Every structure is written in C-alpha cells, then in structure tokens.
Amino acid sequence: MPSVDPPIDLGAYDAVVYDLDGTLVELAVDWEATANAVLDVYAEHAIIPPTDELWGLLGAADEYGVSDPVEAAIADRERAGARESVLLPLGSRLVDGAHEAGPPAGVCSLNCEEACRVAIETHGFGDALDADAIVGRDTVETYKPDPESVLAAVDRLGSDPERALFVGDSRRDAVASERAGVPFAWATDLIER
C-alpha cells in the first residue's frame, strides 16, 4: 500500500483528499439505529436481509431492488448527524487556516455528498476545501473501498493519483487509497505533526 511516514509535508503533494467522518468531523449518527432502519426497509419489502451489517445492507440493496429507500434511510440520518457533528482536531486545523499554504484539498467520504456538504458548512471549512471536490458515496457509481471515489476527488483537484495524498482514519480508507494508487496517511499522523 502506498503510504507515507511522519512527518508529512503536505506541500510535497499537488492535492490532499480527506475522509470526512472520523477524520475531519465526527458525525452524530447512531449507526446501530441506522442499520435497524435499513433492516426495516428490507422488512417493509418482504425481503430477508443478507446481513445485519449496515454497509453490507447498502451494498446488497441494488440487487434486492431497494437501493433508493435504503439510501434514503441512511442519508436522512447522516444529514441530521452532520448538522450536530463535532469538529475533530484535524478539521479544526483546516478551519483555523493551517491548510492555507498547502495544496488544494477535497473530501472523499463513505457518507452521502449532501451530509458532507452540511458538515462542511456547519463547521465553516470555507476555502480550506474545494467545493467542486466533495465526493460522497452517491457522487459516483461506487464507494470506498472501491477506488473510483478517491480518484474522482483527486481528478477534481486537478492532480494525478501519485501526486496526491489521501488522509483517512479507517482500514476502508487505506484500502481505497491503495486501490487508487494514491499515497495514504492516517489522520492521527497529521494531527501529531
């Protein structure tokens, strides 16, 4: 997996793409209740769910013909959670202008694009993030750990994969970055520098 070791010099990259939830902000979403709401969607359609794990339910929704109501059940909770989200240390650094001298930055998130935009507006990220480079799970055809969303964010920032950096907090982020051929850094490594 392409990764970088601290200390990380953001100026060495043409673009930086951040994960949102767990990296820049913490969405106020009860994920267990969200999974239960999605299970309710399956039940309403008389479908035996293939799993009880939220992202597995989302991934199978198209196959079962319930992708729209499943997506709506998740996105509704994410948008509400974005309005009540908490700014994390790395997000605070961006909001406070620590990114001003760095390369253009965007977001690639497993959350829906609208929830990303709500969180960005709620916390006043302003010019720290390129509004055209906000990619949620519903922005492109696939979502992390598929590389398409990472590559879309990198492309919207006008960079090439090998010249960009993806910053995240989960194994899913690291795998997406590897699959995209984009160097990866853990959010904690940027906070510690």
Mind giving me the DSSP string for 109-165?
Answer: -SS-HHHHHHHHHHTT-GGGS-GGGEE-TTTSS--TTSTHHHHHHHHHTT--GGGEE
First to last CA, the chain: 22
Of 55-59, 93-97, 168-172, where does mean pLDDT reach its minimum?
93-97
2 band by pLDDT with thresholds 50, 70 and 90 = low
CA angle 161, 94, 31 (to 5 degrees): 80
The better pLDDT of the pair 5, 142 is held by 142
| pLDDT at residue 184 greater than cutoff 90 | yes
Query: Which pLDDT value is given to residue 126?
Result: 85
pTM: 0.91
Which DSSP letter does residue 5 get?
Answer: P
185 and 5 in contact (C-beta within 8 Å)? no
128 band by pLDDT with thresholds 50, 70 and 90 = very high
SS3 191: helix
Give the side-chain half-sphere CA count within 13 A for 107: 34
* pLDDT tens digits for range 77-101: 999 999 999 999 999 999 988 556 6
1 band by pLDDT with thresholds 50, 70 and 90 = very low
Query: Which pLDDT value is given to residue 90?
Result: 94
- Percent above pLDDT 70 for the chain: 93
